[in-house]
Amino acid sequence: MRLDKFLKVSRIIKRRSVAKEISDQGRILVNGKKAKSSTNLMTNDELEIHFGNKTLTVRVLALLETTKKEDAEKLYEVLKEDYEQDFNAES
């Protein structure tokens, strides 16, 4: 399954066009390598997704063409979720 389609079906990213744009900007790594939207995913692949100030690392558990909203989280496992701190903010 294509990377952009998986991100949409799993609801990690809500729109496929946004998933395509983010991946084509080089903000997604698959198993440690930069991935394009057309990258073919397999189960057990690790995705590292760089959002604005957040990095989400997940493992692909299943690949389905469609899924219901309540079942979307069964397609992946969150391994790590990091937030960048704003060093200019006062403590």
Work out the mean pLDDT of the chain and round it to a whole number: 87
Give the predicted TM-score (pTM) of the model. Answer: 0.81
User: How far is residue 17's CA from residue 46's CA, in Å, rounded to a whole number?
Assistant: 21
DSSP letters, 27-46, are: -EEETTEE--TTPBP-TT-E
20 vs 72, which has greater pLDDT?
Answer: 20
| Residue 90: pLDDT over 70 | no
The domain covering 3-83 belongs, at the CATH homologous superfamily level, to: RNA-binding S4 domain (3.10.290.10)
Mean pLDDT, rounded, for 56-85: 86
User: How far is residue 34's CA from residue 63's CA, in Å, rounded to a whole number?
Assistant: 20
| Residue 65: pLDDT over 80 | yes
| Residue 91: pLDDT over 50 | no
Q: How confident is the model at residue 88, as a pLDDT?
A: 55
User: How far is residue 91's CA from residue 76's CA, in Å, rounded to a whole number?
Assistant: 35
The domain ranges of the chain are 3-83
Q: How many Cβ atoms from other residues are within 10 Å of residue 91's Cβ?
A: 2
